[in-house]
Amino acid sequence: MSDPRVLLDIDGPIASVRLNRPDKLNGVDLALLHELIAVSRTIRADRSVRAVLLSGEGRSFSAGLDFGSVMSDRTRMWRGFVPNPLSGQNLFQHACWTWRELPVPVVAVVRGHCYGAGLQLALAADFRFTTPDAKWSVLEAKWGLVPDMSGTASLRELVGGDVARRLAMTGEVIDGTTAHGYGLATGVADDPAVPARDLVDAILTRSPDSVAATKSLLNRTRHARVRTAFAIERRLQLAMFRAKNTAAAQKAGAKGETPAFGPRQFGRG
């Protein structure tokens, strides 16, 4: 039996997800795509999980699509392009975007290579912390392709149109410091796991329902009309007023105490 392509460890409220093909610089093959989706479903179903740390085993986050492996089974590859009629996402898109759709924040820790499919996976996280010398690239341009694993939706959200076009059209390789300057990375550090964990610890002090609802609110209103955005705000706020974790936060806040939250109730499980 082959080793799992994606490792999942749950320690209390934190799920650690690690791409596990270090000998291939965590190159993405079809099996890894399916495992990313399966692991995200496991996390979604576990209401005790309140944050995800996403990283790669070995010296790289991911060097991108493993073309040799994927192209060796063209029937499965082409089948992977067929979109789900309900979500409108195909296999390649869903494996990345499922992390944006999780009802808990996802924080990517980037070292080494962050190319192509790996970059699009990192961009689908809610936050990204990188080493200064990590290598980032929308590498599809090198192969005469376009970013097609949800990358265009992420790029247009994070950077200006001219920067998105430059990165996608040239496939140039930039370092982590430049990625941070462009807005692709949330922060840069010699050990990016440290600020990533600091952010997670800060989020854990807040109601898991409030965090989940806020993520949903920002995702759903990103391109909504103002009237629609206001309606979504109202519905989510009413849900928060009824949440037990809201009452716990307010009670503890009034007493100057640290709240004791129960499992997440908001968001699909």
β-strands 174-175, 187-188: how paired?
A: unpaired
Q: What is the pLDDT of residues 139-182, one digit of tens each?
A: 999 999 999 999 999 999 999 999 999 999 999 999 999 999 99
Q: What is the pTM of this model?
A: 0.95
Q: What is the pLDDT of residues 4-45, one digit of tens each?
A: 999 999 999 999 999 999 999 999 999 999 999 999 999 999
pLDDT at 1: 52
Each domain of the chain, given as residue ranges in start order, spans 6-203, 208-255
State the burial class of residue 100 (Cβ atoms within 10 Å of its Cβ: 0-12, 13-18, 19+).
middle
pLDDT at 269: 59
pLDDT at 80: 85
| Helix (H), strand (E) at residue 149 | none
Q: Which two structure tokens, joined as six digits, stand for 11?
A: 């320690």
Q: What is the pLDDT of residues 184-237, one digit of tens each?
A: 999 999 999 999 999 999 999 999 999 999 999 999 998 899 999 999 999 999
The class of domain 6-203 in CATH terms is: alpha beta
pLDDT at 75: 86
